[in-house]
Structure 1
């Protein structure tokens, strides 16, 4: 196929990175100039025309919407006897926040995002946090898809917007928005201190007015750290703890608020692992992988003389066969979330660590959980209920409530969608002999003895677990006749600290070899064939896709990177990505490390050759993997393609990294992505609808 790609000139730019000279022929595609925007728009028009050739766009959108129904759990938040939740009215473009006496009661509207939003695009609710006394509602509002959000304050009884809210911009919702003080007199939050592109942040404290006051909170964090920080308060208001690091949090500082004028003092500061928990009495009770790769629960006295010494920690729950992930305070109990071969398990423990029960879950699946461990700590003050969302690979999210002592959970909102498909577990043998697990989701009617059109979805990075949960876009792919394989590669958080570290920094290549092992195993087993196999991944998973298409192009029929990171060398010029790259890949000030980055950077790996069909999707407002990653990679790959398959690029306006993309834009993104797979893999298309739950 010869396509009329928009012309992409090259420039004589050579970057010097720690003394290593790196040519960058498409550097001109980085800035947001009128020329770049015209080129980007023409690429999007071409992509849409190719993707929908021979298909009905409206039918594909309808399929996406059908499997999107009930797919995004909006857990209600409790405060002072009332429940707060976000809903989008029928036909509405922005959500409203409702307060009710029951978790999903009809209630009344407290805040309308269509009114609170002030940007050019639809308003998206990034987070909500009612004050402990239930009188004030704090909201994070994003209006451009970027995840950058500002705080709005609303009086709950009247719905009246309150003046004096902090003016600082929050880079994301990764610290949960705001942390209310137990007396409801104010809150702490983590926000930018300057323009977003500079990526400088600090902890702030805000006191409600009049007069309102916002000041920087002098939390002692490691010098030069760009990591995120979340302030946690004890229910009695005595203690404040600062949890630091988004992927592997530690309680880096503590403050005794009962002592007037007492300053923050360092707490756990010399820990390379994770210590993620909550203040329980006068101790910090946490899940840790220190001395236990699969996790154990420990208690650290807040007045410990040497909190960095693990020998002074009290072990409450020892390491076992499951992977311990997080704790949620519920009254006098703690609900312990675990992974049992990726599937969710929840046990209940008391303050001494004794197991008092287990929550019977609705099936073999996953609890809804934040992307990063730090965000999971933003639970607010303990409630008397454990409210959770649960789904499986074949059924959408339901919401449930459990109380200590009850035999089983109460259904608050039943799943809306069920796939007519089966789930099978499998394992591939990696090059070093390690077994790499995966799940196969096969739609009814597909003969397992014949190679099927198959999509591998994987991630394998940042200690983030890929879970056996419902994802509407992947469910729509299965409904269209495709076989989904969800692969659990090393580098992720599914199997504990050793699994994560096995593909971290200098061992990042292990993730990519695991992926190849899964793909080759599926072909050898007859599940699929190379001319029927596709791959997708987002963000760091988009980088995985870029490596796969440039190093093993013959293995794939199609590759679909989404919101991708593709230029590791260019990323070091971006303050946010420089922070990420230094933490997860290499030191860009070291020449040898730079050379290693070059061997892992898809943009640098492009050489003339025959490539499979490629569809790159990015967001114009993405603050993490900026759209120039996809633009530069697409231009270089289009020029290098010696085969007949298309290399397509669509950068969507008003879209970011995903968390704050307006729903209608997300539907358009998913529909085009799915249409590309339907056409490329020859699926039966947009004819299937969800079955009854």
Structure 2
């Protein structure tokens, strides 16, 4: 098949970070001008025409609509005997309050009031980034995004009347990753982490806002030059405030005795490394900070650090409450006088209850072998607003690879959790845990999800989904688009590559910074094991991944194009060298990949950057999906890679790019746009792997 691609001119441009000169022939596609926008629209039209010609989009959309019904629900949040939650349906999102988690509610606000002036009423509406009720239940703070970018503004709603106040802060939050607002225990104000200038500059600070009063910058002592996220945590009695700093490996770097007049910040747990072995993530319990840490414990342990400790930065002075075990500990959440400790054993979720002295109060039986819903990053998980009481209980979402999300509640002393909202979808499929052996002898686990009735003696069309980055665990949880793929007749392999957090911080360390290439060799080991064991059909093996997982896809298709029938990166990072010029990506690259000021590191980055790896060859079907308002992996990352790969393609398979309007990195993309993105993605995949038709 000959594909008539939009004209993609080249320019005589180069990048020169740390003095290393690197050709950049599609640099012009980084611009946001009329020429680039026209080119981007032409690429989207080509993708739509090509997908339509294969006749699979309608069937794919039907599968997506069916299996997205199991999308994770927003959890209700308690405060002062009330429950606050978001409800979505019929292209509307509302926020309501009720006396029980999912009882009949009173609508507080409809997010349609935040539509931009003159916006088409049928266009995707605003999305809710987060919600946080004040401890006394009189006010509700919400974060609203209007363009899919995740940039959101704080709005205040009076709970009694539903009145939208006009005195919320004007600052823009870069995302929901710092957890929205952190209310003061007296409900008179809150702190938050927001941008100090334009979003593209990625400069942020801690602010405090007094209800009905001013918003000011707080002088929180964080490491010099750090661009990491910060969240303030307050004790329930208002006596203590802790500043937790860093997104993936947070630590309580400073403490302040808030109830003492004139009290100032003082250093607390400082000097820990950024990354493996540097996490202390927990909450204030009484006069101590009780946390899960990977310091001297790669799979995690629970420690207690007195807030008045003379030398809190010395791990030797911490009291160990729960020692390291075979279970990887992930987070700890106070509920009344109890602490809920979550983790996973070979990726499968576990949940226990302990007290403040570390005494084991018993395991909480879960609905199956799967995953507890949790934020990607440890700092976001610290966003506990009004402290939950024992009567409120521990409310959590749970799913598996074959069962969609349900919502459950466990109260201390209960034998088993109660079901608040049951899962809506059960996939007719089987799940098996297997492993491949990497080139260095490391066992790399993966789950195989087969449609019910699949013939295990014959190779199947297989999609590998993987991530392997940032200490983020990819867990055996429900994802609507992947479930739709299995329902269509495909076999899913979810691979747990080094660089992720599934097996503890040693697993993360195994593909961190100078070892990032290990993730790519782990992926190849999994693919080759699937082929050798007769699980995958050699002509029908595909790969997908998002964000940093999109970079994994880019490396895979440029280095081993022979392995794949299709590669589908989503919201991808694809040009590490160009990323050095982008403030947010420079921050990510510096902490996770290498030093952009070091020539040796720059050369290493160029050697694993997909855009730089492209050379003429025969490539499989490639479908690249991106968001026009993505602040993390901006669309020019996808544009440049697609243009260069289209020019290098010597084979017949199409190289398609669709940059969706009103879409970002995924966290604030509207359900309507998500559905279209997923349907195109699945249609391309179904065509490349020759899958079945419309669901029953």
Match of 1:317 in 2: 322
The alpha-carbon deviation at position 265 of structure 1 amounts to 1.2
The alpha-carbon deviation at position 151 of structure 1 amounts to 0.4
Structure 1 unpaired stretches of 5+: none
The alpha-carbon deviation at position 111 of structure 1 amounts to 1.1
Match of 1:241 in 2: 242
Deviations 1:636-688 (A, max 9, x none): 00000011111000000000000000110000000000000111100013x22
CA RMSD of aligned residues (A): 0.9
- Judge conservation of contact 2:114–2:146 (CA < 8 Å) in 1: no
- Judge conservation of contact 2:78–2:386 (CA < 8 Å) in 1: no
Name the CA distance, whole Å, in 1 between partners of 2:654 and 2:56: 20
Answering whether residue 128 of structure 2 is matched by residue 122 of structure 1, we say no
The alpha-carbon deviation at position 444 of structure 1 amounts to 1.3
Bigger mean CA offset, 113-122 vs 5-14: 113-122
Deviations 1:305-362 (A, max 9, x none): 1111011100000000100000011000100001111000000000000110111100
Match of 2:253 in 1: 252
Deviations 1:251-279 (A, max 9, x none): 01111011112111111110121000000
Name the CA distance, whole Å, in 2 between partners of 1:381 and 1:363: 29
Name the CA distance, whole Å, in 2 between partners of 1:7 and 1:163: 49
Match of 1:145 in 2: 148
The alpha-carbon deviation at position 56 of structure 1 amounts to 5.0
Match of 2:552 in 1: 544
Answering whether residue 377 of structure 2 is matched by residue 379 of structure 1, we say no
Bigger mean CA offset, 198-207 vs 442-451: 442-451
Name the CA distance, whole Å, in 2 between partners of 1:382 and 1:443: 43
- Judge conservation of contact 1:562–1:618 (CA < 8 Å) in 2: yes
Match of 1:358 in 2: 363
Match of 2:456 in 1: 448
Name the CA distance, whole Å, in 2 between partners of 1:177 and 1:559: 35
The alpha-carbon deviation at position 62 of structure 1 amounts to 2.0
Name the CA distance, whole Å, in 2 between partners of 1:55 and 1:476: 17
The alpha-carbon deviation at position 493 of structure 1 amounts to 0.3
- Judge conservation of contact 1:73–1:397 (CA < 8 Å) in 2: yes
Name the CA distance, whole Å, in 1 between partners of 2:333 and 2:584: 30
The alpha-carbon deviation at position 59 of structure 1 amounts to 3.2
Answering whether residue 635 of structure 2 is matched by residue 627 of structure 1, we say yes
Name the CA distance, whole Å, in 1 between partners of 2:441 and 2:523: 14
Name the CA distance, whole Å, in 2 between partners of 1:400 and 1:80: 20
Deviations 1:496-526 (A, max 9, x none): 0100001000000000000000000000000
- Judge conservation of contact 1:452–1:482 (CA < 8 Å) in 2: yes
- Judge conservation of contact 1:73–1:368 (CA < 8 Å) in 2: no
Normalised by the length of structure 2, the TM-score is: 0.97
Structure 2 unpaired stretches of 5+: none
- Judge conservation of contact 1:282–1:302 (CA < 8 Å) in 2: yes
Deviations 1:95-152 (A, max 9, x none): 1001000100111100110013437551000000010011101000000000000000
Name the CA distance, whole Å, in 2 between partners of 1:42 and 1:313: 60
Answering whether residue 298 of structure 2 is matched by residue 293 of structure 1, we say yes
Alignment match of 1:94 (pick from 74, 84, 92):
92
- Judge conservation of contact 1:530–1:554 (CA < 8 Å) in 2: no
Bigger mean CA offset, 116-125 vs 497-506: 116-125
- Judge conservation of contact 1:237–1:257 (CA < 8 Å) in 2: yes
Mapping 1:84-483, distance limit 5 Å? 84-89=84-89, 91=90, 93-118=91-116, 120=119, 122-209=125-212, 212-272=213-273, 273-383=278-388, 384=390, 385-483=393-491
Mapping 1:52-67, distance limit 5 Å? 52-55=52-55, 57-67=57-67
Match of 2:570 in 1: 562
Give the SS at the match of 2:481.
helix
Name the CA distance, whole Å, in 2 between partners of 1:546 and 1:116: 38
Answering whether residue 595 of structure 2 is matched by residue 587 of structure 1, we say yes
- Judge conservation of contact 2:51–2:683 (CA < 8 Å) in 1: yes
Name the CA distance, whole Å, in 2 between partners of 1:54 and 1:150: 42
Deviations 1:585-636 (A, max 9, x none): 0101111010000011000000001111100000000000000011000000
Give the SS at the match of 1:408.
coil
- Judge conservation of contact 2:62–2:695 (CA < 8 Å) in 1: no
- Judge conservation of contact 1:241–1:255 (CA < 8 Å) in 2: yes
Match of 1:8 in 2: 8
Match of 2:654 in 1: 646
The alpha-carbon deviation at position 60 of structure 1 amounts to 2.2
Give the SS at the match of 1:659.
coil
Q: May I ask how many residue pairs the two structures share in their alignment?
A: 684
Give the SS at the match of 1:545.
helix
Deviations 1:42-79 (A, max 9, x none): 11111111122232533322210110113122100000
Answering whether residue 686 of structure 2 is matched by residue 688 of structure 1, we say no
Bigger mean CA offset, 124-133 vs 372-381: 372-381
Name the CA distance, whole Å, in 1 between partners of 2:668 and 2:195: 17
Change (3 A) 1:319 1:636: same
Give the SS at the match of 2:15.
strand
Mapping 1:572-583, distance limit 5 Å? 572-583=580-591
Name the CA distance, whole Å, in 2 between partners of 1:236 and 1:315: 25
Name the CA distance, whole Å, in 1 between partners of 2:692 and 2:15: 47
- Judge conservation of contact 1:116–1:152 (CA < 8 Å) in 2: no
Name the CA distance, whole Å, in 2 between partners of 1:460 and 1:250: 23
Name the CA distance, whole Å, in 1 between partners of 2:527 and 2:433: 15
Give the SS at the match of 2:618.
coil
Name the CA distance, whole Å, in 2 between partners of 1:507 and 1:16: 23
Bigger mean CA offset, 465-474 vs 303-312: 303-312
Q: Which runs of 4+ in 1 moved over 4 A?
A: none
Name the CA distance, whole Å, in 1 between partners of 2:326 and 2:634: 40
The alpha-carbon deviation at position 17 of structure 1 amounts to 1.4
Give the SS at the match of 2:529.
helix
Name the CA distance, whole Å, in 2 between partners of 1:427 and 1:562: 25
